[in-house]
Amino acid sequence: MMRTTKPARAAQYVALAAYLVFLAFPFLWLISTAFKPARELGSLHPTWIPKDPTLDNFRQAFDEQPLLRAAGNSLIAALSAALIAVVIATPMAYVMARHRNRVAKAATGWVVISQAFPFVLIIIPLFLILKNLHLINSLLGLIMVYVVWSLPFALWMLVGYVRAVPTELEEAAAVDGASKVRTFVSVVAPLLAPGIVATAMFAFITAWNEFFFALVLLKTPEKQTLPVILNRFIGTEGVADLGPLAAAAFLATIPSLVIFAIIQKRITGGMLAGAVKA
């Protein structure tokens, strides 16, 4: 292995720090804005730390919009979609990764192509199908859409993880007399845990942030999700009620941050474990 010189290491740290600042900037600015009173938002010389911090933006955001209920709806939709997506995608990914026949190739191709479909192309048929199923203005209908929407990419991600699991382990299990299902459940699935978690995260974030389907499919405020509610802080010609919008958007990022914080170690640990095995 090449030895890293001190200047090179210092440069790496500087680059890393710069990257982190770049990534963190919008979020830190969002927090700063959320606590600024209206007059500071219009200042020519904006400051990172509000001179006169206030909770008024949060109060106003909660007063004007049903944020908690919307957050609850988002949480139900996103968690359900993530759970269902990985439950469906995991065995499918195993089959596609281990059985490389024409069907699997065609399925992979379809998965790739389906990612190119714009929302607007599928929303009308989806709307009509859900209407006939009486699932318009229903979180269940929205969850179904999110599962279908995130499934191709979830599948694609998991196929990669399955391929990284050495087949020798499955062969050893077969020699020990384990059935295919037993092998999958007891040998492959535990090794896939980091991949499953990462995929679930992807599905969760996709659903948590999704706006257009939720806008079109959910009509009453009792059912609407956070992105739809956040959109109400924006008016004509893109004019925004900036303070309350920042406050609400800041709150909307918290669940994602909490979930990331909880599972981060697991993902990292799993990835490292996989790397050693490979």
Q: Which residues bind another protein (CB under 8 A)?
A: 38-39, 41-46, 60, 63-64, 118, 120-121, 123-125, 127-129, 131-132, 136, 211-212, 215-216, 219-221, 228, 231-242
C-beta of 192 vs 216, nearer to another protein: 216
Cβ pair 241, 55 in contact under 8 A: no
Task: Write down the least CB distance from residue 153 to another protein, Å.
Answer: 22
Shortest approach of another protein to residue 80 CB, angstroms?
A: 23
For residues 176 and 222, which CB has a smaller minimum distance to another protein in the complex? 222
- Closest to another protein by CB, 20 vs 240, is 240
Identify the sign of the CA torsion 147, 148, 150, 151. positive
Smallest distance from the beta carbon of 149 to another protein, in angstroms? 16
To the nearest 10 degrees (0 to 180), the angle between helices 6-34 and 242-277 is 150
Q: Measuring CA to CA, which residue among 204, 223, 205 is closest to residue 84?
A: 204
CB of 208 to another protein, least distance (A): 18
Tally of residues, the chain:
278
* Residue number, 191 or 214, with CB nearest to another protein: 214
d(CA 204, CA 80) in angstroms, rounded, equals 8
Smallest gap from residue 135 Cβ to another protein (A) = 12
Nearer to another protein, 98 or 232 (CB): 232
Q: Residue 234 CB, nearest distance to another protein (Å)?
A: 5
Task: Give whichever of 10 and 55 is closer to another protein, judged by the CB atom.
Answer: 55
